[in-house]
Each structure stands twice: as C-alpha cells, then as structure tokens.
Amino acid sequence: MWKYDPNSAKADEFINHEEIMETLAYAEQNKADKVLLREILKKAEERKGLSHREASVLLACEEEEINQEIFRLAKQIKQDFYGNRIVLFAPLYLSNYCVNGCTYCPYHAVNHHMPRKKLTQEEVRREVIALQDMGHKRLAIESGEDPVNNPIEYILECVNTIYGIHHKNGAIRRVNVNIAATTVENYKKLKDAEIGTYILFQETYHKESYLKLHPTGPKHDYNYHTEAMDRAMLGGIDDVGCGVLFGLDKFRYEFAGLLMHAEHLEAVFGVGPHTISVPRLRNADDIDSTSFANGIDDDTFAKIVACIRIAVPYTGMIVSTRENQQTRERVLQLGISQISGGSRTSVGGYVEPEPEDQRSEQFDVMDNRTLDQVVGWLMELGYVPSFCTACYREGRTGDRFMSLCKSGQIQNCCHPNALMTLKEYLVDYASPSTLKIGEELIQKELGNIPKEQVRSLVIEHLDRIQQGQRDFRF
C-alpha cells in the first residue's frame, strides 16, 4: 500500500487514496461538530488557508448557520485579495485531432462522425484577429492530444503566430496553454515560447475511475497525467492551473484531491497552483452528461467554490462558459477571479459559425453572450472587468506573484492595471452603452487607489490611452 507523502514525486503518494478516504470519513464524522467547525473557520479567518482535511469538514457541513458563515468568509476573502476585479479571457481551439479515448469528451478517437479540424497558421491569424476585434488580450489555447497532428512544434508555432499579430490596436499579451501532459523538455519549450499559465485538468483524482474514463491512449496513464504539474515546474513553468471535471466522480473526493495537489506543489516547489478551474461536465456531440452518475447541483457547486476560496486564498479561480449567466453571477462573489467571455469551443469558430453538419464544439456553451455584453454585465454588477497581463510580463509569476498578493500592494498595482486595460477596451471596442457605464466606473474606481502618486500617474495614463497610446502597466 502507498503511504501518503505530500513531498513525494509519486502520484500515488501525494494524491493518496487511503488519505482521501480517511479525510472523507473524518469529514463525515465531524460535519456537525460546531466547536470544530468554528475552530476551522477561525483559522480560515487568518487568510492563510486550510488543509485538505479541514476544508473537507467545511464542505461536508450541513449546518445552515455555519454554511452562511462559510459563504460570508469566502466573499470577504475574495474581496480582500481580488477586490472587485474580474479578469477576462477566451479559449482558442487549435485542433480537435485526438488519439485518446476519454469517455466524456466528444474529441475521443472513436468519434468518427465529428469533423476533424486543425487550424493552419493563416487560420490562427484570422481567429486571433476576430478575438482582438472583440477586445480580448488573454487567450487559453486548447488542443486534443495527437503527436502526429498536434506535435509540440505545432503548438509552439501557434503561440508564436498569436503573439506576433497586431491588428489595429489589438494584441494578445498572454497565451495560456491547455494541452495534454507532456515531458519536461516540452514544458521548457513552452516556457521559452513565453506562455502564461500551463493548464491541465486532472479530470478525476480517483485512480480507478480515471482508468475507466480514459480507457485508451496516452492519457490512460494516470501517474504520468497526475505528475504533469511537477514536470511543468521542473521545466521552469511556475504558473500552473489545476482543475477537475466535476461530474466524473464524487465531488468530495475530487475536492480533497485538488487541495492535496495544491499542498504537494506548495511543499515541493514552494508555490501552489496559480489558478484552479471548476468545470462541470456538459452535453456535447455524442456525450450525454446525464449518463454520468456524479453530476452536482448548483448549490453544491457554489459551496465548492466558496470552500476552495477559503482553503487556498492566493489561488485564482476560473469559471468558463460551461456555466450560464445566473450561475456565473452567483459564484463570482464567492471567489471566482477570472471568466471567459464570448467563447467558441469549436475549431475555427470565431471567424464564422460552423455549418450544421460540420460542427466541432467540445461542449455546449451555456453563456452565449458577446464579450461586450459580458463586460457591461460585470460593470452593472459592480465589478471591474480587467484585461490585465502585467504580472507575468513583469516577471511576477510563481512565488513572486504570491508575494505581491501577500504584501497587500494589489490595490496599488492590480487595480490601476485593471482600470487602464478596461479603458483600452472602452476606447477601442465597447458599444456606446458599455462605454458610458465604463467611463463612470473608472472615475469612481480611481478613488480606490490608495497611493496618491499612483493615482495621478493612472489619471495621466488614462488620458494618454484616450489619445491613442497603449499598454501601460505597473
């Protein structure tokens, strides 16, 4: 039997099944123990996070009064660390060629009726221009796993093409990459290509289920997949994004596994994941999400988001257009710091809609609004939409980003950057109604920059943006 060890390099030891089972039993036994629950909440108030065990007790808790406390604290932590800023991005699907057999994903190799598409560099260019014309500055590139059709050289070429496109005032300033687990050598190449975050969802931490859900292809190798973030870190990528696909296995198991993964990265590399994503399984081409037994309802989803926020306060949290407007609205206040907007999950979907018989979407999008609608909606809710990419371009990645969070200087740094990138969006891309709300919001939010000196510099930069200059950052 494997022994639990967060410092181990072995998947079976840092994501240890016995430890998770004991954690779940401990959570079940103590979920009504109000004294313990209050002690855990008191510790969480210190904003230093919780262990997977402590957080699992909170997740299991059914006491109404304590649950209200959990939600209140999640909102407070979100406000303290991230303020009212929400970072925006879009996915860009490069290729749906895939050799894996993932039973929940329509890109699986035995889906013979789905058209297989792979963007040429000219098509990448057109997609990126369409995304720049919407106002996007940050992308997450997505691809199936296929060493012949989508080798690392193809991904690198696409990253290079994307960074090189400057259409009107547009620019993609940060490319995050969501591709299959790979080698340290390839992670080094991605690092050299100046990617932002390397994102890889675990899908499920439950090894036995994992093996069944990934019956064929290289992704079947649970250990290789689970140890990918270690290899990414060894390759020099210090911003990694974790996540599970909720609906595949039992959510309490996944939650404990996710936090153990974060603890492992923190223990070994001194820095936890940069982001955690919370995707839920959706219908897709030949995938019926209701045929999977572990779907979670909206209340459970909200509770998971709140508990992650409390357990890892310095980790950004991402919600995609797998969620509808209403759910996104609910979880934004509980801890989400990044959302996608105006997304297409098909290969080549931004330039023009695909004909009915040629569809290549990875899953059904539940929020079909345009980026402008999403930006306007966020501002009406009191959030500041941000297109900021400053941290990673200023070398504030990994532990350097964490120290910025911990130093309390976010309000003098991230907030001005958010306002300046929002201003760029408003001047270049916004509809008249979004522009109006945005200008009022910026005026109001200038008052929330604590340092007088920073504030006057921001006012000067905003004026220069209005005159046509771009890309100011702190």
- What is the C-alpha to C-alpha distance for residues 347 and 350, in angstroms, rounded to an integer? 8
What H or E segment, with its residue span, contains residue 140? strand 138-143
Q: Which stretch binds ligand SAM (CB under 6 A): 205-213, 282-290, 378-386, 387-395?
A: 282-290
- Complex with ligand SAM: residue 105 or 265, whichever CB lies closer: 105
Beta pairing class for 316-319 and 240-243: unpaired
Q: How far is CA 191 from CA 115, 182, 188, 237, 238, in A?
A: 31, 13, 5, 6, 9
Closest approach of Cβ 181 to ligand SAM, in Å?
A: 7
Q: Which of residues 405-444 bind ligand SAM (CB under 6 A)?
A: none
Q: Which of residues 121-160 bind ligand SAM (CB under 6 A)?
A: 142, 144-145
Q: Which stretch binds ligand SAM (CB under 6 A): 15-23, 177-185, 251-259, 404-412?
A: 177-185
Q: Which of 24, 83, 77 is nearest to 49 (CA)?
A: 77
Q: Which of residues 188-227 bind ligand SAM (CB under 6 A)?
A: 200-201, 203, 219
- Complex with ligand SAM: residue 52 or 322, whichever CB lies closer: 322
Closest approach of Cβ 203 to ligand SAM, in Å?
A: 5
Confirm or reject binding of residue 284 to ligand SAM (CB under 6 A): yes
Per DSSP (E only), the strands in 10-126 are 85-95
- Burial bucket for residue 409 (CB in 10 Å: 0-12, 13-18, 19+): middle
Q: Which of residues 220-279 bind ligand SAM (CB under 6 A)?
A: 245, 279
Q: Which residue in this structure is represented by tokens 């290289």?
A: 218
Closest approach of Cβ 374 to ligand SAM, in Å?
A: 19
- Complex with ligand SAM: residue 1 or 110, whichever CB lies closer: 110
Closest approach of Cβ 29 to ligand SAM, in Å?
A: 32
Contact 367, 323 (CB under 8 A): yes
Number of residues counted as binding ligand SAM (CB under 6 A): 21
Candidate residues 104, 246, 301, 387; the one interacting with ligand SAM per rule CB under 6 A? 104
Count how many residues are written for the chain.
474
Per DSSP (E only), the strands in 274-358 are 275-277, 316-319, 338-340
- What is the C-alpha to C-alpha distance for residues 267 and 276, in angstroms, rounded to an integer? 17
- Complex with ligand SAM: residue 145 or 230, whichever CB lies closer: 145
Closest approach of Cβ 132 to ligand SAM, in Å?
A: 22
Exposure string (b/e) for 272-295, b if CB count within 10 Å is 16 or more? bbbbbbbbbbbebbebeeeebebb
Candidate residues 84, 161, 176, 178; the one interacting with ligand SAM per rule CB under 6 A? 178
Closest approach of Cβ 322 to ligand SAM, in Å?
A: 5
Contact 247, 295 (CB under 8 A): yes
Candidate residues 24, 179, 347, 413; the one interacting with ligand SAM per rule CB under 6 A? 179
Closest approach of Cβ 246 to ligand SAM, in Å?
A: 9
- Complex with ligand SAM: residue 300 or 448, whichever CB lies closer: 300
- Helix-strand-coil split of the chain, %, nearest 5: 50, 10, 40
Q: Which of residues 58-77 bind ligand SAM (CB under 6 A)?
A: none
Contact 102, 108 (CB under 8 A): yes
Closest approach of Cβ 313 to ligand SAM, in Å?
A: 24
- Complex with ligand SAM: residue 199 or 371, whichever CB lies closer: 199
Instruction: Give me 166's structure tokens.
Output: 């400057």
Instruction: Give me 220's structure tokens.
Output: 């079947």
Q: Which residue in this structure is represented by tokens 């270049």?
A: 428
Contact 181, 201 (CB under 8 A): no
Contact 205, 15 (CB under 8 A): yes
Q: Which of 274, 283, 320, 386 is nearest to 140 (CA)?
A: 320
Q: Which of residues 343-382 bind ligand SAM (CB under 6 A)?
A: 362-363
Q: Which stretch binds ligand SAM (CB under 6 A): 22-30, 59-67, 263-271, 280-288?
A: 280-288
Candidate residues 15, 58, 66, 180; the one interacting with ligand SAM per rule CB under 6 A? 180
What number of other Cβ atoms are within 10 A of residue 303's Cβ?
23
Chain contacts with ligand SAM (rule: CB under 6 A): 104-105, 142, 144-145, 178-180, 200-201, 203, 219, 245, 279, 281-282, 284, 287, 322, 362-363
